[in-house]
């Protein structure tokens, strides 16, 4: 987490990661009912990773079109 905070600019951290974290929290709250904190935490982190990868891929595609 410290690496993410150090590598991203404040704008990148606020705009990109806040959106993906919020989306991950909503998905986790609605769909993940494993009755285990560890499993739900891992699923949340995996969801965050996937949403961030999709976001970065979409951003890269948009930049390539310009």
Please, are residues 4 and 17 in contact by the beta-carbon 8 Å criterion?
A: yes
| Closest CA relative to residue 24, chosen from 5, 51, 3 | 51
> pLDDT per residue over 1-32, tens digit each?
677 777 777 777 777 788 899 999 999 999 99
b/e map 18-41, b = 16+ CB within 10 Å:
eebeebbeebbeeeeeeeeeeeee
| Dihedral class, residue 27 (left if φ above 0, else alpha if ψ from -120 to 50, else beta) | alpha
Residue with tokens 């990661």: 17
**Average of per-residue pLDDT values in the chain:** 89
Predicted pLDDT of residue 6: 78
* Res. 66: pLDDT tops 80: no
């Amino acid at each position: 987490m410290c690496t993410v905070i150090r590598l991203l600019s404040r704008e990148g951290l606020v705009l990109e990661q806040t959106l993906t974290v919020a989306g991950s929290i909503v998905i986790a709250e609605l769909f993940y009912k494993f009755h285990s904190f560890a499993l739900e935490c891992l699923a949340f982190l995996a969801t965050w990773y996937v949403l961030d990868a999709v976001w970065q891929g979409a951003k890269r595609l948009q930049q390539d079109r310009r």
